[in-house]
Amino acid sequence: MRTLIDIGPEVVKEDNHDYSIRADFMWTATLALNRLLSTGVPGDWSTHALGHEITALNHTDHARTLSAILPAVMMVRREQKFDKLVQYAENVWGITDGSTEVKVDTAILKTAAFLKSLDMPVTLKEIDVKSDDIDYLIEQLDIHGNTQISERGDQTLAVSRAIYEKALELEF
């Protein structure tokens, strides 16, 4: 994520054909996708499962579904992921001042601001998901066996519903 923060603003410039930046972006994506970086560390891919159902719903590309759902995942799952979110705040964003609660809040806001700076959506409203769509999304998670996801398997359909609902109501 630190690499994406560093190079993201340059990567999204369509007229920037800097091979080195593009190569760094592709290498970063490859490392994330092949899960090499998460070897020996629990990984949570629940954001992806939620995002896949949005893509199937309205054909929004996967990256945009991830950015639209990630802040809500961080907020709804805050308590269960608190220690990881503190690490994220400190190690990715360099947030060292304030209480752990303030660090987490700041990291979530910085994440949303960064994604917005890349012209990425950070709420479901921005990708045309409506409250009426949530039942369908939950039904599809169930059909696809995504009823207990996250690194601990503790993200139930009720929790996924709460995430979708939070992502729909957020304002940044």
DSSP 101-141: HHHHHHHHHHHHHHHHHTT---SSGGGT--GGGHHHHHHHH
Q: Are 70 and 157 in contact (CB under 8 A)?
A: no
Residue 75 confidence (pLDDT) = 98
Q: What residues in the chain have per-residue pLDDT under 50?
A: none
Which pTM value belongs to this model? 0.93
Residue 69 confidence (pLDDT) = 98
Residue 162 confidence (pLDDT) = 98
Residue 16 confidence (pLDDT) = 92
DSSP-H helix ranges across the chain: 2-11, 19-33, 46-58, 62-76, 82-91, 100-117, 134-143, 157-169
Residue 45 confidence (pLDDT) = 86
